[in-house]
């Protein structure tokens, strides 16, 4: 093993420690998780399931209430204040933004380019993260051309990050969505704009943590494939799920479904048109659905590339997902 | 039962986190941690090192449950999402890759980089030769490095 490998391994080990400690810190949170049907469910599990369903309903009501607030109106020209603050700094083509995570500590956004499709993530913390935390750069360093992939530490101790890191495996062959067209200079400009124009005001209010209606996606997948679920990530306004071949052995994912919801402004009719792109080994098909979602299906050989389109057809027919951009207030306050 | 209540309060979070990292589920982790602490309670008067015993019970029960969940998932094709974990997409993506490791490799990764155990201590805890643990760790790191490249 040469010196470079040793350096890479040490970086990886430190990254793993950071990831494991970060995930472990969330272990005490309440969980909203859709569990697959168990062959033998105990009474305790049934009660836990009922409680989870009640929490899910409560969360959905909270989201509907938040969505009904004046600053969350997403129809017509009444765009929320946070969007108007962010919009001037968005790279060209990334005009649609969803709030993917919002709590007392931070707000995360996802900007999409429905024509490519590409995804861009940015996060703003609401509270101090400690003095000069490791791995961050200052606003001055950013302005001087420092790597915009690292979080920016603001003078007041809070942080901003703008990156495509969730898509670092920038290859459709490896079940990711490319974002190579988001240049470092564009990300740097967005981070600088956020640092001076958005923080500390104009951030969305904390929203309830609630999963979107993944079950509808599952129905769409089950209706056209015979694959098994291989996990994924579920957020209020975006998520993905992967599927692999049935069998006892490990196999790489053949299908990945991604969705983005709650987009501001909503996709236009032309932006909702189905498109596809691909390489020799994989195909990505994406489309805006009538409920406002942008869905993507990435298929990898030997799965038939047409499968992605069939799944999107089925998803559109099932009208997946709660109306996170609904304007109707809930029946009870 | 002198000291158990204090031990319980001091170790519940750590036990729950360890189980969460191995099973990937907070809900399962909560049950594993509670069950493991009850096992410590039952054996309290006979334990020289209750912390080490608690770790062994948490690891063994987490691996057992995880194997069962994997078997059940093979017969199901329902969407089973990973719960949101952090605010950072980088962490979430790496965590997803760690979750995709085989249970033995994932357990070793967690014990090495979360519990900071030596290879010899991991080998003793898992009842495996040190060489086996070392090769499993190497394979896990190589796989993560390839996917994160």
Residues of B in contact with A252 (CB under 8 A): none
Q: Model pTM?
A: 0.48
Per-residue pLDDT tens for B18-63? Answer: 998 888 777 678 778 888 888 888 888 888 889 999 999 999 888 8
From the candidates A1, A13, A14, A20, which should be mutated to test the interface with B, based on the most B CB atoms within 10 A? A20
Of A278, A274, A270, whose CA–CA distance to A313 is shortest?
A274
A161 three-state secondary structure: strand
Does A229 sit within 8 Å of B79, measured CB to CB? yes
Does A27 sit within 8 Å of B141, measured CB to CB? no
**Out of B20, B80, B86, whose CB is closest to A231?**
B80
Q: What is the full per-residue pLDDT of chain A (333 aa) written as tens digits?
A: 445 455 567 788 888 888 888 888 776 432 222 222 223 333 333 333 333 333 333 333 333 333 333 333 333 457 887 787 778 778 888 889 888 766 666 677 888 888 876 777 777 776 665 554 556 777 778 777 776 666 777 777 777 777 553 332 233 444 444 444 566 677 777 777 776 655 545 566 544 333 444 555 666 777 777 787 776 666 667 777 778 777 666 667 788 888 888 888 999 988 899 988 776 677 888 898 877 788 888 888 888 888 888 888 887 776 544 433 322 222 222
Helix axes B130-148, B119-126, angle to 10 degrees: 110
Residues of A in contact with B68 (CB under 8 A): none
Distance CA A105, CA A109 (A): 14
Residues of B in contact with A15 (CB under 8 A): 94, 148
A15 three-state secondary structure: helix
Q: Is A248 on the interface with B (CB under 8 A)?
A: yes
Token pair of B85 as six digits: 């974990």
Question: A16 to chain B nearest CA, in Å?
Answer: 7
Query: Chain A neighbours among B 31-70 (CB < 8 Å)?
Result: none
């Amino acid at each position: 093993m040469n010196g470079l490998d040793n350096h890479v391994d040490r970086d990886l080990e430190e990254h793993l420690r950071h990831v494991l400690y970060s995930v472990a810190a969330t272990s005490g949170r309440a969980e909203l998780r859709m569990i697959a049907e168990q062959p033998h469910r105990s009474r305790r599990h049934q009660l836990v399931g009922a409680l989870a369903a009640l929490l899910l309903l409560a969360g959905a009501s909270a989201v509907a209430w938040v969505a009904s607030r004046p600053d969350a109106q997403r129809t017509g020209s009444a765009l929320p204040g946070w969007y108007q603050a962010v919009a001037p700094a968005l790279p060209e083509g990334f005009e649609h933004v969803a709030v993917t995570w919002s709590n007392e500590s931070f707000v995360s956004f996802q900007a999409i380019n429905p024509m490519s499709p590409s995804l861009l993530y940015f996060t703003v913390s609401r509270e101090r993260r400690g003095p000069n935390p490791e791995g961050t750069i200052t606003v001055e360093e950013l302005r001087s051309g420092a790597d915009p992939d690292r979080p920016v530490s603001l003078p007041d101790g809070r942080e901003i990050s703008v990156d495509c890191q969730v898509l670092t495996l920038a290859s459709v062959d490896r079940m990711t969505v490319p974002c190579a067209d988001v240049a470092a200079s564009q990300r740097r400009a967005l981070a600088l704009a956020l640092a001076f124009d958005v923080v500390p005001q104009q951030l969305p209010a904390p929203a309830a943590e609630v999963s979107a209606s993944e079950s509808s996606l599952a129905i769409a997948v089950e209706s056209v494939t015979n694959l098994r679920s291989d996990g994924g990530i579920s957020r209020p306004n975006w998520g993905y799920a992967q599927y692999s071949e049935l069998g006892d052995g490990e196999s790489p994912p053949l299908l990945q479904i991604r969705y983005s919801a709650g987009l501001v402004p909503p996709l236009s009719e032309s932006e909702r048109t189905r498109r596809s792109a691909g390489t020799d080994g994989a195909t990505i098909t994406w489309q805006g659905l009538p409920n406002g979602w942008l869905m993507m299906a990435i298929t990898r050989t030997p799965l038939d590339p047409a499968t992605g389109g069939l799944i999107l057809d089925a998803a559109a027919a099932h009208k997946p997902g709660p109306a996170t951009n609904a304007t109707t207030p809930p029946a009870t306050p | 039962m002198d000291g158990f209540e204090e031990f319980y309060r001091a170790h519940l979070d750590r036990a729950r986190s360890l189980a969460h990292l191995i099973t990937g589920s907070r809900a399962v982790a909560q049950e594993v941690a509670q069950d493991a602490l009850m096992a410590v309670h039952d054996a309290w008067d006979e334990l020289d090192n209750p912390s080490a015993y608690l770790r062994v019970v948490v690891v063994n029960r987490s691996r057992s449950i995880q194997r069962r969940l994997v078997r059940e998932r093979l017969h199901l094709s329902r969407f089973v999402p990973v719960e949101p974990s952090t605010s950072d997409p980088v962490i979430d993506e790496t965590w997803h890759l760690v979750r995709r490791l085989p249970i033995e490799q994932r357990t070793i990764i967690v014990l090495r980089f979360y519990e900071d155990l030596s290879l010899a201590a991991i080998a003793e805890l898992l009842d495996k030769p040190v060489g086996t643990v070392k090769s499993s760790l190497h394979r896990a790191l190589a796989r993560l490095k390839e996917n994160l490249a």
